[in-house]
Chain A
Amino acid sequence: MAESSFTPGSFDAGAGPVVAFHDVAIGFDGHEVLHDLSFHVEHGETRIILGPAGCGKSLILKLANGLLEPDRGEVCVFGRSLGGMTEAERFDLRAHVGMVFQESALFDSINVEDNVAYRLREEGAPAEETHTRVQEALRFVELEKAIDKYPSELSGGMRRRVSIARAIINRPDLILYDSPTGGLDPITSTTIIELVVKQRDVSHTTSLLITHRLQDAFTLATHRYNSDLGRMELIPDGKIDDSTKFLVLHEGKKVFDGTTLELTHSNDPFLREFLT
C-alpha cells in the first residue's frame, strides 16, 4: 500500500462511516443536478446506487473521490472532510480508493500490464513485486493471458475486467464502481458482477456501485462467493447479503436509502414503478 500521510488503516471502523455525504449539492451551467443529498456508507458495506439516467449517480462517485467539488454541503471519506483538503492530500487519500470508470478509462497508449501496474509504478514499487502483483490482479479477473495486449485489442467486457484489476491492485479500502456492467451483454455483465461479489466476499472491501440493471443489483444482494467452488452461488434459504444496501435517486434527490428488504417492500409509487 502507498506510503502517505493519510492512513485509513488506522481508521476505526466503529468511529463512523467510510463515506458520508451531508446535504451535498452540485450543478452545472446554472442547473442543479444533485439536491442536498445526505447518506453514509459503513465499513464493509456495499452500497448500490440506482436511478434513472442523468439523475447524478456518477457525480456521487466523483465527489466521493474528490474529483469534483460540491457547490454546497460536505463529503467525508474515512472520517475526513474533502472540503478542506489540498490536491496533494487528495492524492494521498486516493491511494486508498480504487475506481472503476463507466467506459473503463484505460490508458490506450500502454498495454494491459502497464495499465494495471500504473499505480504501483507511480508509488515507486520494485519492478519484480509490481509484475507479481499485476499477475495476481489479472488472475483475480481471469485475464492473465491478456497481459501483453493493448486496450484496443480487448472486448468491452475484458476492458472492464482490466479496469477492475487496476482498481484493486493496491488493495484499496474503498472501491467505487461506476456502471461496471453498462453497455455489456447479460452474460458478460454476470461475469463482472461475479467479480464484484468475489471482491466483496473475499476482501470485504467497502464499495459504492452504480448500475442501471436491477438484475445486477439483486444478484449482488442474493448471491455470495464460494471460494471452494471458485464461483458465485445463490445464498441458501432465500437469505440476502446483509452488507448490501441500496440508495435510489430520482431527479437528483434521494428517494430511498436502506436494505434490500426495505426496498422490495416499499410502497413508494416511484420505487414500485422503477422496480417493475
Chain B
Amino acid sequence: MFTFSPEDFAKRTVGSVQEFALLCGRAVGNLFSGRRYWADIFTQMDSIGVGSLPIVILTGFFTGCVLALQAAVSLKEFGAVGMTGKLVALSMVKELGPVLTGLMVAGRNSSGMASELGSMKVTEQIDAMRALGTDPIRKLVTPRILATVVMLFFLTIISDACGTAGGALVSVTLLKLNASTFFHTAYMALTYGDVVGGLVKPLFSGFIVATVGCYFGMTAKGGTQGVGRATTQAVVYAMIFIILVDFLVTQLMIGIFGK
C-alpha cells in the first residue's frame, strides 16, 4: 500500500537538487577543460536552432499580430493608437519574445533531450558509453547546453523581429497606421537596458531547457514508461523554471537599469 512519508519526500527532493547541481557543475566545467565534441555541438545547434526556426517564427509573428490588435483597442480609448509600435516593440523585446521562445524551445527540445537520453539510459547505452571510456556528460550534456544557449539567443532575436514585423503588418493593413510611424515609435521606445534585458533572458532559458531535459533523461528509469514520465517532467519543470527565472532576471534588470 502506498504511504506518503514527508521524510522520504524531503530526502528525494534534496537528493534530486544535489544531482541536478552536480550535473550542471560538471557539464559547465567540461566547457573549460579537456576534450570538446565539436561535431556533436554543431549537430545539436542544427537540431535545436534550425529545427526550432518554424515554430519560433510563427509564434513570434502571430504574437506580434495579436499584440498590435489588442493594443490598438486599448490605446484608441486614449487617442494614442499611434503608440502601437512602441507597445509592440517593448512587449516583444523585453518580455514576450524571450519568454515565448524559451517556452516553445522547451516544449520542443527539453522533451526531445529527455526522451533521447532516457532511451539511451534504459537500454544501458549510457553505461556502455562509460564502459567504453567516454564521459557521457561531456559527450551528451555539454554539447546540448552550449548549443541551446547559443541558438536560443539568436532564436529570440528572430522572434523579436518577427513579432515586430507581425505587429507592423496588422497596424498597416488592419489599423491603417503609417508603417514609418510604427517603426519610428518602436525604435525610439527601445533603450539599451530593454535590449540587454531581453537578450540576457534567453541565456538563462537556454541553460534551463538543456540542463532540465538532460537531467530527466540521464536519471530516467523504468523502461519505456519511465522515458515517457521523464519527457513529461522535463517539459513541465523547464517551463516552470523559465517563467520563475524570467521573473528573477526582470527584477535584476530593473535593479541594474532602473526600468
Name A's B-contacting residues (CB within 8 A): 2, 62, 65, 67, 87, 91-92, 94-95, 97, 99, 101-103, 105-108, 118-119, 122-123, 166
Contacts and interface: CB of A to CB of B under 8 A. Distances in A.
B135 A105 contact: no
A97 B123 CA distance: 20
Contact of A94 (B124, B125, B131): B131
A102 B131 CA distance: 13
Contacts of B133: 2, 91-92, 94-95, 119, 122-123
Contact of B125 (A2, A65, A102, A108): A108
B132 interface: yes
A101 B130 contact: no
B132 A67 contact: no
A102 B124 contact: yes
Contacts of A105: 123-125, 127-128
B133 to A, nearest CB: 5
21 contacts: A62-B127, A87-B135, A91-B130, A91-B133, A91-B134, A94-B130, A94-B133, A95-B133, A99-B128, A101-B124, A101-B127, A101-B131, A103-B123, A105-B125, A105-B127, A105-B128, A106-B128, A107-B125, A108-B125, A123-B133, A166-B132
Contacts of A123: 133
Interface string B148-187: 0000000000000000000000000000000000000000
Contact of B128 (A91, A95, A107): A107
Of all A-B residue pairs in the complex, the 4 with the closest CB atoms, nearest first, are A105-B128, A105-B124, A99-B131, A119-B132
Contacts of B135: 87, 91
Interface of B: 123-125, 127-135
A92 B133 CA distance: 7
A91 B129 CA distance: 10
A49 B123 CA distance: 22
A67 B134 contact: no
B125 A118 contact: no
A106 B132 CA distance: 11
A62 to B, nearest CB: 7
A67 B127 CA distance: 7
A63 to B, nearest CB: 12
Nearest to B119: A108
Contacts of B131: 65, 67, 94, 97, 99, 101
A57 to B, nearest CB: 15
B139 to A, nearest CB: 9
Nearest to A178: B124
Contacts of B130: 67, 91, 94
Nearest to A97: B131
Contacts of A103: 123-124
Contact of B134 (A92, A99, A101, A122): A122
Residue of A2, A94, A123 with most chain B CB atoms under a 10 A cut-off: A94
B132 A118 contact: yes
Nearest to A96: B133
Contacts of A99: 128, 131
A122 B135 CA distance: 11
Nearest to A4: B133
